[in-house]
Amino acid sequence: MSLNLAINRVPHLRDGSIVAKVGILGLILALFSLTPLHAQKSNGKIPGATTYTITKELLAAAPKRFYGSPGHAAAEKYILSRFAPEQKDHRVEIDSFTATTPAGLQSLRNIVVRFPSVGPGKKDGIIVLGSHYETNYPLRDIPFVGANDGACTSALLIAFGEYFRAHPPQGYSVVLVFFDGEEAVKEWGPSDSLYGSRHLAAKWSQDGTIGKIKAFLLADMIGDKNLDIDLDGNSDPHMVDLLKEAARNTNHMAALSKDTTPIEDDTVPFHKRGVPVLDIIDYNYGPHDAKHSDGYHHTAEDTIDKISAQSLQTAADLFLELINLVNLH
* Tens digit of each residue's pLDDT (9 = 90 or more) over 177-187: 999 999 999 99
pLDDT per residue as tens digits for the range 7-20: 232 333 333 443 34
Helices (H), the chain: 3-8, 18-33, 48-61, 70-81, 84-88, 152-166, 195-207, 237-249, 268-271, 309-328
Q: Indicate if the pLDDT at residue 95 is higher than 90.
A: yes
How far apart, in whole angstroms, are the C-alpha atoms of residue 142 and residue 144?
Answer: 6
Burial class (CB in 10 A: 0-12, 13-18, 19+), 312: buried
Lowest mean pLDDT among 43-47, 58-62, 195-199, 220-224: 43-47
Q: What is the pLDDT of residue 6?
A: 30
pLDDT per residue as tens digits for the range 275-294: 999 999 999 999 988 888 89
pTM of the model: 0.86
Lowest mean pLDDT among 40-49, 114-123, 236-245: 40-49
**Mean pLDDT to the nearest integer, 317-329:** 97
Q: What is the pLDDT of residue 290?
A: 85
Phi and psi at residue 23, to the nearest 5°: -60, -40
Mean pLDDT of the chain: 88
Q: What is the pLDDT of residue 311?
A: 98
- DSSP labels, 182-208: -S-SSS-BTTBS-HHHHHHHHHHHHHT
How far apart, in whole angstroms, are the C-alpha atoms of residue 300 and residue 143?
Answer: 5
pLDDT per residue as tens digits for the range 221-256: 999 999 999 999 999 999 999 999 999 999 999 999
Residue 19 CB neighbours (<10 A): 9
Residue extent(s) of CATH 3.40.630.10 domains in the chain: 43-328
Q: How confident is the model at residue 329 (pLDDT cuts 50, 70, 90)?
A: confident
- In single-letter form, the type of residue at position 50 comes to T
Look at residue 296 and give its three-state secondary structure: strand
CB 213 within 8 A of CB 128: yes
How do 173-179 and 256-261 pair as beta strands? Answer: unpaired
Q: Which residues pair with 311 in a beta bridge?
A: none
CATH class of the structural domain 43-328: alpha beta
Residue 240 CB neighbours (<10 A): 18
| R_g of the chain computed on alpha carbons | 23
**Mean pLDDT to the nearest integer, 71-79:** 98
- In single-letter form, the type of residue at position 77 comes to K
262: CB partners within 8 A, 6+ apart: 232, 233, 234
Q: Residue 147 has what DSSP assignment?
A: I
Q: Which residue has the higher pLDDT, 290 or 142?
A: 142
Q: How confident is the model at residue 259 (pLDDT cuts 50, 70, 90)?
A: confident
